[in-house]
Structure 1
Amino acid sequence: MRAPIGDFDHAAPAPDCLDVLVAPVAAAVRAWHGDIPAEQIVYVDTDPDIADTAVFVEHYGRELLEQSANCVVVAGKRGGESTLAGCLVLSHTRVDVNGAVRRRLGSRKASFASMDTATGTTGMEYGGITPIGLPGDWPLLVDSAVVDTEWVLIGSGRRRGKLIVPGKAFADLPGAVVIEGLGV
């Protein structure tokens, strides 16, 4: 199989690669439903030593810079209560934590979750966090530009490997809320 974007040596439908995915991502792929079939989610093997964006796109394809998205975990706080959420924005933008995220979560303060919190609550590796397999009770804030991108490269839950997903599939993930201007 050839990946729909990028120049990868190994690409396969994600349902055929469950053994290389972390448990929550594999479970989400197994339970996948919606308009986009799970077989359209493509797993590509990548070298974790060249995960830095500039080196990554030089090696796997410069077009990936515009077609990659980052998923980060944020914590919204209000009155001693903390709400965790996933945020998905195109890689060439940043999450509007103090504006769009804070307002959507109804928080007085919002910030990126610590590495220990992000990895401990998701079961994923830092630098590989993906919206597929996040805890189902979390809000997943997705920038509308991600949904409007034909194919999007995201983490796979590990630093090794990535997933390539049709952009419109992110609107159907559990807890997903599509927000205009989440990525600035």
Structure 2
Amino acid sequence: MTLRLELSPALTTPSLLAPPVRDALPRLPDAEAVRVAPIDPELADTAAFCAAYDVNLEQSANCVIVLGKPAGIYAACVILATTRADVNGAVRRLLGVRKASFAPMEEAVGISGMQYGGITPIGLPEDWPVFVDARVPAVADAVIGSGLRASKIVLPGALLASLPGATVVDGLAQ
């Protein structure tokens, strides 16, 4: 059985957003274009979500938190679900560090204030760079986490590219 996303304006549905997302959303350009839908939290992981809710992987975006070492620099990478972040190449060079790796789950959750599997670039600490793969802005209705496993945000990919601190990067993902 295919489930349907029941979208509502995110600005008027704050209970479906993690606190940092809820706080940051009104400050975004075109915040009224952001919609949110409740989902089964057991289906929050990308592959299960896309299959259950009939969403194309090309429409689904992931936000991964990366840690640059030894400097301890955190960054967010927004990529399409059909790709993988080039952490050891592009991200490492962008951060100007010797080594970059995915941030440990407990750290990513603790620092972001969001649930694992629902992390989104909206509402992350303001001093973190947000790298957006160049393919993301072309997605008309990108689906990404809401900060919670129990919902997803749908917004224009171009809005992800216009987030504060965001840089669109060719070759961020492969």
- TM-score of Structure 1 vs Structure 2, range by shorter chain: over 0.9
1:19, CA displacement in angstroms? 2.6
What residue is the counterpart of 1:175 in the other structure?
165
Equivalent positions of 1:14-53 (< 5 A) are 14-32=10-28, 34=29, 37-53=30-46
- Verify: 1:126 aligned to 2:111, yes or no: no
What residue is the counterpart of 2:59 in the other structure?
67
Counterpart AA for 1:46: I
User: Is residue 64–residue 153 contact of structure 1 (8 Å, CA) maintained in 2?
Assistant: no
What number of residue pairs does the alignment pair up?
Answer: 172
User: Is residue 70–residue 154 contact of structure 1 (8 Å, CA) maintained in 2?
Assistant: yes
What residue is the counterpart of 1:3 in the other structure?
none
Alpha-carbon separation, structure 1, partners of 2:42 and 2:106: 21
User: Is residue 25–residue 132 contact of structure 1 (8 Å, CA) maintained in 2?
Assistant: yes
User: Is residue 16–residue 36 contact of structure 2 (8 Å, CA) maintained in 1?
Assistant: no
User: Is residue 74–residue 84 contact of structure 1 (8 Å, CA) maintained in 2?
Assistant: yes
1:17, CA displacement in angstroms? 0.9
Counterpart AA for 1:7: R
Q: Which of 81, 89, 102 pairs up with 1:112? A: 102
- Verify: 1:154 aligned to 2:144, yes or no: yes
What residue is the counterpart of 1:143 in the other structure?
133
Percent identity between the aligned chains? 49
Task: Give the 3-state SS of the residue equivalent to 1:92 in structure 2.
Answer: coil
What residue is the counterpart of 1:54 in the other structure?
47
Task: Give the 3-state SS of the residue equivalent to 1:169 in structure 2.
Answer: helix
Alpha-carbon separation, structure 2, partners of 1:109 and 1:96: 12
- Verify: 1:84 aligned to 2:91, yes or no: no
Counterpart AA for 2:43: I
Task: Give the 3-state SS of the residue equivalent to 2:119 in structure 1.
Answer: coil
Q: Which of 138, 156, 159 pairs up with 1:166? A: 156
Alpha-carbon separation, structure 2, partners of 1:20 and 1:152: 17
Consecutive unaligned residues of structure 2, counting only runs of 5 or more, are none
Alpha-carbon separation, structure 1, partners of 2:162 and 2:76: 14
Consecutive unaligned residues of structure 1, counting only runs of 5 or more, are 1-5
Give RMSD over aligned pairs.
1.3
Alpha-carbon separation, structure 1, partners of 2:16 and 2:37: 11
1:54, CA displacement in angstroms? 3.3
1:161, CA displacement in angstroms? 0.3
TM-score by length of 2: 0.94
